[in-house]
Amino acid sequence: MAKIVTREEMAQGTIIMNEIDAPRISRKAKPGQFVILQADETGERIPLTMADTDPEKGTITIIYMVVGKSTARFKELQVGDEYFALIGPLGAPTHIENFGKVVCVGGGTGIAVLHPIARALKQAGNEVTTILGARSYDLLIMEEKMRAVSDHFHICTDDGSHGHHGFVTDVLKDVLQKGDVNLAVAIGPIPMMKFCSLITKENDVKTFVSLNPIMVDGTGMCGCCRVSVGGDTKFACVDGPEFDGHKVDFDELAKRLAAYLDEERTSMEAFEECKAQ
C-alpha cells in the first residue's frame, strides 16, 4: 500500500499530481527511472516516471494525464487514500555528466519526466536551455520548476496564448543555429520526439528520448514494451526508458500504442456508465 500525501489537479483538472509515501523508493530513485502503480486489486498496472523525489520526507511525486479508465480511477483517489500496489524504481537511470550545452525539450506530461533530468544536468555543471510546449498556456505544467533549473527558458503554445506561437521544433531549430549544442533531451508526445530527433540528427547533435510503450510487468519478462532501436529489439522497461532518438522507430511505436484504442474506449465507456448508476 502507498498512501497519497498531497494531491493537486493541474491543467484544467486533466493532469493530476500526487505526492506518495514511498521512503525506500525515494532513497534509491534516480532521474529517468519510473514506478508502476495499481489503483486496486483488479486494476491495470500503470508505469509512470517520477517527476520528483524527496528522500528526507520519504516521498515520490508522479504526474499523469487522465486519458482512460485506469487513470480515471487514479483520479478518484484523494489525500489519505492508498494505491493497492507500487513497485520501483524501475528502468535504467539517465546518464548524467557535464556535456556542456544541453537543450531540454518537453511537452505535455513529458515535462514531468524531464524535470529531474534537467535538474541533474544543471547540477552537473551543464548550461541548460529548456523549451516547453503545450496546446495552450493553461495546459502547461511545471513552468516555475523548469525555469528554476534552466539557464535559458522558452515556452511555445500551439494557439499563441503565451510565448512562441508555434511548436517546440521552431525554437529548437533557432537554438541549434545560434550555437554549439552538445546534447538534446526530448520528452513528450511521440510526434514531438520524432521531429525533434529529426532536427537534431540534421545538426549532428546527440539526442535521447524517453519512451512510453505498452508495459505490463516492468521487468523484461512479458515483452510488451518492445521497441525497435537501430534495427534491434529493445525492452523499454529494462533497456530504457531512454534511447537514442536518432535510432528509434517512432512510426512502429505509434502503431503499437494504438493497438488497443477500441478496447480502451469500450472500457472507459463502461466505467463511466457504472459511475452514473
The string of pLDDT tens digits covering residues 145-195 is: 999 999 999 999 998 898 899 999 999 999 999 878 999 999 999 999 999
Domain ranges across the chain? 2-90, 101-257
Nearest C-alpha neighbor of 112 from the set 139, 74, 145: 145
Q: Which fold has domain 101-257?
A: Rossmann fold (3.40.50)
pLDDT at 95: 94
pLDDT at 277: 67
CA distance 46 to 217: 10
Number of other CB atoms surrounding residue 252 within 10 Å:
13
CA distance 165 to 159: 6
Number of other CB atoms surrounding residue 154 within 10 Å:
20
CATH superfamily of this structure's domain 2-90: Translation factors (2.40.30.10)
pTM exceeds cut of 0.85: yes
Q: What dihedral angle (degrees, nearest 10) is formed by the CA atoms of 176, 177, 179, 184?
A: 10
pLDDT at 272: 77
pLDDT lower than 70: segments of the chain: 277
Three cell numbers at 24?
525506500
CA distance 181 to 196: 14
Three cell numbers at 188?
513528450
